[in-house]
Structure 1
Amino acid sequence: MVADQGSSLPSSPKSASSKELTRRILSAVVMIALALVMAYWGGWPFALFWLAAGIAIMVEWTDMTGIEPRRLVQAILGSGLAILTLLFLADASFGLGAAAGLAFLAAGVLATKGASNKKWATSSFLYASLIVLVPPIVRDHLELGILGLLWMFAVVWATDIAAYFTGRTFGGPKLCPSISPKKTWSGFIGGVVAGALGGVLVAWAGEKYGLSLPFGLLGTAIISVIASVASQIGDLGESALKRHCNVKDSSHLIPGHGGVMDRLDGFWAVCLIVAAVLLTIHFTA
């Protein structure tokens, strides 16, 4: 009876934490492998991969914020994201893509009830659009290509992993306790250092295989620091949204991680920086 009673006791917090970390690591390995395979493949499979991610993010965002009529708005906005992908694959002009995106955004906003909900619908589409478009654009870009994409991955992944483990190891003052109580300054600094190193290592390795980024190694180090900081700000921004919506995770799609938005919040911020640079070049070249 003693043995039976002992076996029925709940697992210790340490054991539960260990299982959660194992799930988190296994899920991360699978996601990283899938992202790298799709990046190598490129073309329409890669574009569809990011379309799926963008639609998942839009659905998570609109579910969290509770817009209505939810499924109708999600169908309109999801169709808009799909059209953006098709136009990209068809090599349509920037103007046509922008016009199509704005048309579907307007339709989704008009279908949404309530002024505040219209803002959430707008932000969900704009947020998801970056995830849908920027990675395929970078992958096909003549000066960036797969190396530019790998740089984005390396900075975000190194930042995320290092921030998690240095924060847990060293602890210390909280970074922004009102938004994310577990994040620390030690984790932030560790993430920035690792993100910069990750970005530079990718650029250095690329040069060994005849590939190069248009910034040089010093420029890559500087922009890697900026991207790492942006990645962590993106993480905090999503935490603020979840706190506003009173949810722990954007969804429960990925074991140990939550939703797609939970995994791509930092990557989204780097996409925003890359998009700003590419748009500046587009309109000034």
Structure 2
Amino acid sequence: MVAAALLTAYLGGWAFALFWLAAGIAIVVEWTDMTGIEPRRLVQGILGLGLVALTLLFLLGAGFWLTSAVSLAFLAAGAFIASGAQKRVWAVSSFIYAAPIVLVPPIVRDHPDLGILGLLWMFAVVWATDIAAYFTGRALGGPKLCPPISPKKTWSGFIGGVVAATVAGLLVASFGQRYGASLPLTLPGIAALSVVASVASQVGDLGESALKRHCQVKDSSHLIPGHGGVMDRLDGFWAVCLIVALVLLTVDPTV
């Protein structure tokens, strides 16, 4: 997945958008499978078509309000088809969860002030957080971060992940400056945003763990042998996508 993400990021355009569309559809399928929505395949089909529509609208340059209206239409259709009030909530939440994964990476890739450097920053922060949190937690141990949800995570791993993500974010920015590219923030600003993104990434991981515990499953699916499902791989990246989306909407509500 790392190789595919980097290759399609380099290519941009349709290839990159379709890569994240596939990830978003997989997330909807995993979420609705875990939560037992019925009629499952029909709901998955409607919500999947909604994500396809979002991708096409992005590639065709549609505006924020049209994209929002189409999203609401497919949300309403998915909720109407799902049986039971609680299942309707799960259906809607699956689409809302998948949409940032489908839209934010292509938006960042095409953004004139972010581009591929912004994507590399997102990747670096998430990957550094995951790797450093794992190895720091194993090496140092100590108090548990959130035992009811994830018994193996520690505060030492959490802090190690934040530190590594901050360093990684600054390295990406410095590398970009060296080759004539830059992010629209000062280095202290990039460091601060990297801290926020790392914390969000780890909270996203915990959130997905909480969902799996609620649904009494170990992995979101078995799509990736030995690694679980797409949600298991992208829970932290999803949270960083959400942070970036909020920043972009604050700076430019029409993005």
TM-score range, shorter chain: over 0.9
SS of 1:181's partner is strand
Corresponding letter in the other structure for 1:33: A
Identity percentage over the alignment?
76
2:205 pairs, out of 235, 241, 246, with 235
Corresponding letter in the other structure for 1:138: V
SS of 1:283's partner is coil
Aligned equivalent of 2:117: 147
Q: Provide the rounded CA distance (Å) in 2 between the counterparts of 1:212 and 1:115.
A: 48
Is residue 154 of structure 2 the alignment partner of residue 189 of structure 1?
no
Is residue 9 of structure 2 the alignment partner of residue 65 of structure 1?
no
Corresponding letter in the other structure for 2:202: Q
Q: Provide the rounded CA distance (Å) in 2 between the counterparts of 1:201 and 1:44.
A: 29
Shift of 1:284: 8.8
Aligned equivalent of 2:250: 280
Cα deviations by residue, 1:35-80 (Å, 9 ceiling, x for unpaired)? 1111000000000000000000010000000011000000000000
Aligned equivalent of 2:133: 163
Q: Provide the rounded CA distance (Å) in 1 between the counterparts of 2:165 and 2:31.
A: 27
Q: Provide the rounded CA distance (Å) in 1 between the counterparts of 2:158 and 2:248.
A: 27
Is residue 179 of structure 2 the alignment partner of residue 209 of structure 1?
yes
- Larger-gyration structure (1/2): 1
Is residue 149 of structure 2 the alignment partner of residue 179 of structure 1?
yes
Aligned equivalent of 2:72: 102
Aligned equivalent of 1:88: 58
2:12 pairs, out of 16, 38, 42, with 42
Corresponding letter in the other structure for 1:143: D
Cα deviations by residue, 1:9-38 (Å, 9 ceiling, x for unpaired)? xxxxxxxxxxxxxxxxxxxxxx21211111
Shift of 1:128: 0.2
Cα 1:190–1:215 shift into 2, 3 Å: same
Corresponding letter in the other structure for 2:107: I
Corresponding letter in the other structure for 1:282: D
Shift of 1:256: 2.5
SS of 2:250's partner is helix
Deviant stretches of 4+, over 6 Å: none
Cα 1:180–1:95 shift into 2, 3 Å: same
Corresponding letter in the other structure for 2:38: E
TM-score w.r.t. length of structure 2? 0.98
1:128 pairs, out of 88, 98, 103, with 98
Q: Provide the rounded CA distance (Å) in 2 between the counterparts of 1:284 and 1:218.
A: 27
Cα deviations by residue, 1:149-189 (Å, 9 ceiling, x for unpaired)? 10000000000011111111211111000000011111101
Corresponding letter in the other structure for 1:201: L
Q: Provide the rounded CA distance (Å) in 2 between the counterparts of 1:40 and 1:136.
A: 11
Corresponding letter in the other structure for 2:122: M
Q: Provide the rounded CA distance (Å) in 1 between the counterparts of 2:84 and 2:249.
A: 32
Shift of 1:282: 2.0
Cα deviations by residue, 1:199-251 (Å, 9 ceiling, x for unpaired)? 11000000001000011111100100000000000000000000000000001
Q: Provide the rounded CA distance (Å) in 2 between the counterparts of 1:235 and 1:154.
A: 16
TM-score w.r.t. length of structure 1? 0.88
SS of 2:145's partner is strand
Q: Provide the rounded CA distance (Å) in 2 between the counterparts of 1:96 and 1:113.
A: 28
The alignment's C-alpha RMSD in Å is 1.1
Name structure 2 gaps, 5 residues minimum: none
Q: Provide the rounded CA distance (Å) in 1 between the counterparts of 2:49 and 2:200.
A: 29
